């Protein structure tokens, strides 16, 4: 069954709701829920420090809660250490699984809108040459880029939710800063805000793709 989306033009998603590339990505994000929940449970056993790092306020986790090995003003001591990164929650929202569910809801909502806007832009540019069902590769590149912003520790940037060796020279990029604000704001994302965030991300993605 195809899923209707709400945009300035009424159209249908080019993929089925239970299979296909969009569903695959949503399943992949769902699979991250336990992993994210574990990030928000780590404070019970490990040292958690809120730091300003790479241009953003982040929670960084490492070591043991019973043995403090670093302070937020001494990030250099972590060079090469395996650390966990997570978004700081500005408000209380249940337990770790509730926090993970809240984050995934926003990630999915923004990601779906990003897909929608990208699909529309491609078909407006080449309405007769490329049908929606034929845009798998461009969409996959966009989705991989979006998922990497959040979950992947790359050569260029640390993850918003993930882990890797600490490198104090890495910076969060502009798209990650957009996502950080969207995922940590205390109020719910409404439709207009979601569209604005997705438009900002698509603009950044298009600029980076055209370099």
Q: According to the model, what pLDDT value does residue 206 have?
A: 92
pTM: predicted TM-score of the whole model, two decimal places: 0.79
How far is the CA of 43 from the CAs of 17, 97, 150, 158, in angstroms? Answer: 37, 14, 20, 20
**Which pLDDT does position 63 carry in this prediction?**
74
42, 73, 133, 160, 179 from 148: Cα distances, Å = 22, 28, 24, 9, 12
Question: What's the pLDDT score for residue 26?
Answer: 63
- What torsion, rounded to 10 degrees, do the Cα atoms 107, 108, 109, 111 define? 80
Tell me, what's the pLDDT at 20?
Answer: 55
Q: What is the block-wise mean pLDDT of the chain (211 residues), using blocks of 10 residues?
A: 32 41 64 86 84 92 68 74 87 77 92 92 61 54 92 94 91 97 93 97 90 61
What pLDDT does 12 receive?
A: 37
First to last CA, the chain: 38
205 half-sphere exposure, CB direction, 13 A CA radius: 25
Separation of alpha carbons 145 and 111, rounded Å: 11
Q: What pLDDT score does 45 carry?
A: 79
Q: Domain of 46?
A: 4-209
pLDDT, residue 96, reads 83
Which pLDDT score, from 0 to 100, does residue 103 have? 92
How many domains does the structure of the chain reveal? 1
């Amino acid at each position: 069954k195809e899923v209707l989306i709400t945009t300035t033009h009424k159209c249908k998603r080019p993929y089925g709701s239970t299979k296909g590339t969009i569903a695959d990505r949503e399943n992949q994000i769902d699979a991250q829920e336990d992993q994210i929940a574990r990030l928000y449970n780590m404070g019970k056993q490990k040292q958690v420090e809120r730091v300003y790092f790479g241009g953003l306020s982040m929670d960084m986790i490492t070591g043991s809660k019973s043995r403090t090995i670093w302070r937020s003003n001494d990030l250099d001591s972590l060079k090469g250490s395996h650390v966990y990164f997570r978004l700081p929650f500005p408000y209380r929202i249940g337990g770790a699984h509730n926090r993970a569910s809240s984050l995934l809801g926003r990630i999915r909502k923004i990601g779906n809108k990003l897909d929608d806007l990208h699909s529309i832009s491609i078909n407006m540019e080449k309405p007769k040459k490329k049908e929606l069902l034929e845009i798998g590769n461009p969409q996959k590149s966009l989705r991989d880029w979006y998922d990497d912003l959040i979950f992947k520790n790359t050569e260029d940037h640390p993850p918003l939710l993930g882990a890797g060796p600490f490198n104090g020279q890495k910076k969060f990029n502009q798209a990650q800063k957009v996502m950080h604000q969207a995922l940590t704001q205390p109020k719910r994302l409404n439709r207009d805000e979601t569209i604005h965030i997705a438009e900002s991300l698509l603009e950044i993605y298009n600029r980076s793709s055209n370099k």
